[in-house]
Amino acid sequence: MNGLSYAYLGDAVYELEVRAHLIGKGIFKIKNLHNGAVKFTSAKA
């Protein structure tokens, strides 16, 4: 597996952790989950 494949896989793991964190904070509405995840995973973040 090359470096880009590992980076792609790592991004997926990171996003899963972010989503689990948001749900753990009690955020359940899909729109709020999406907006919260974008704040953590966007290029600006």
Catalytic residue among 6, 8, 11, 15: 11
The CA distance from 3 to 24, in Å, is: 31
pLDDT in the model for residue 45: 62
39 contacts: CB under 8 Å, gap ≥ 6: 45
Q: Is 11 tagged catalytic? A: yes
pLDDT in the model for residue 41: 85
For the four alpha carbons of 16, 18, 24 and 29, in that order, the dihedral sign comes to negative
Backbone dihedral region for residue 38 (phi beyond 0: left; psi -120 to 50: alpha; all else: beta): alpha
pTM of the model: 0.80
User: Would the pLDDT of 10 be above 90?
Assistant: yes
The CA distance from 4 to 20, in Å, is: 24
